[in-house]
């Protein structure tokens, strides 16, 4: 009859020739432990590289946005000079003021570059919104009248001068039409309208500014 000690011994004996996997051998374990130290150094170098790259991207992005801004300004000026029809924007003075602020901000030292980038992005966003407002309030002028596009749905004609008497408000028959743009050519007012991605031009006879007459599409 077997006693407990015998069985325990047999179990131990049965385990004697068990082969331990290569990966668990002490020399391989030591190799796995050593790279940790190296990888720590590598990690430190990598983090430094990443920080440097991030800095480059930030500074680069800032420089690019500034260049874009100044080139946009130049092209805007060029456009302004070449336009024969007088086009003005209702909120231009406010915009100019913001530009001034921005220019002043650009004069800050380099430690504040990041903040400036963020603020500049915010200003750009605001400018975008404002531009949308400009379009809404787009005003064309000729010698005696102003033609104001209201909410892309109506065009208001009013006399220039101190009283600014409203002559007429033109609204396309189809209220779903979105007025993209207006043009005035003598006694003709053209509306570039869109509906479901289809564009068309509506022409109005405005020889009598008080009673505009729809001519054709």
Partner 1 sequence: MDEKLLIHQAVKGDTHAFSELYGTIYKDLYRFALYTLKNPQDAEDCVSDTVMDAWAQIRSLRKEESFRAWIFRILSNKCRQRLKAYLSKTEELDEQLPAPTSDQDKDMDVRIAFSQLEPEDRLILSMNLFGGYTSSEIGKILKMNDNTVRSRQKRALARMAEYLRGTGRGR
Site residues, partner 1 (CB under 8 A): 1-2, 4, 7-8, 10-15, 17-21, 23-27, 29-30, 32-34, 37
Least gap, CB of 37 to partner 1 (angstroms): 7
Bridge partners (DSSP) of residue 205 are: 188, 213
In the complex with partner 1, the residue whose CB is nearer, 29 or 51, is 29
Determine the Cα angle at 69 with ends 67 and 71, to 5°.
65
Q: Where is 165: in which H helix or E strand?
A: none
* Cβ 2 to partner 1 shortest distance, Å: 5
Is 27 or 173 the residue whose CB approaches partner 1 more closely? 27
Smallest separation, CB 40 to partner 1 (Å)? 11
Rounded-to-integer distance, Cα 46 and Cα 41, Å: 9
Q: Which is nearer to partner 1, 29 or 78 (CB)?
A: 29
The Cα 211–Cα 169 span in angstroms is 9
18 versus 143: smaller Cβ distance to partner 1 = 18
Q: How far is the CB of 26 from partner 1 (least distance, A)?
A: 4
Q: How many residues does the chain have?
A: 217
The C-alpha torsion from 56 through 58 and 64 to 67, rounded to 10°, is -110
Q: Which residues pair with 195 in a beta bridge?
A: 198
Dig out the tokens for 117 from the structure.
Answer: 């980038």
DSSP code, position 21: P
Task: Indicate the residue among 17 and 173 with the shorter CB distance to partner 1.
Answer: 17
CA distances from 156 to 136, 147, 169, 180 (A): 12, 6, 4, 15
- Least spacing, CB of residue 42 vs partner 1, in Å: 17
């Amino acid at each position: 009859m077997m006693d407990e000690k015998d069985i325990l011994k047999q179990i131990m004996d049965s385990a004697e020739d068990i082969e331990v996997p290569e990966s668990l051998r002490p020399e391989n374990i030591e190799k796995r432990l050593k790279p940790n130290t190296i990888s720590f150094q590598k990690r430190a170098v990598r983090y430094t590289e990443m920080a440097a790259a991030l800095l480059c991207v930030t500074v680069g992005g800032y420089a690019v946005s500034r260049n874009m801004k100044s080139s946009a300004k130049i092209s805007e000026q060029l456009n302004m000079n070449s336009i024969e029809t007088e086009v003005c924007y209702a909120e231009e003075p406010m915009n100019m003021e913001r530009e001034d602020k921005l220019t002043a901000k650009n004069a800050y030292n380099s430690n504040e570059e990041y903040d400036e980038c963020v603020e500049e992005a915010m200003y750009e966003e605001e400018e975008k919104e404002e531009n949308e407002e400009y379009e809404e309030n787009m005003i064309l002028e000729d010698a005696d009248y102003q033609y104001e596009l209201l909410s892309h749905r109506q065009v208001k004609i009013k006399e220039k001068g101190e009283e600014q008497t409203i002559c007429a408000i033109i609204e396309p028959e189809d209220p779903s039409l979105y007025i993209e743009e207006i043009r005035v050519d003598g006694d003709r007012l053209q509306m570039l309208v869109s509906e479901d991605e289809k564009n068309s031009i509506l022409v109005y006879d405005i020889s009598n500014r008080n009673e505009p007459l729809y001519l054709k599409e």
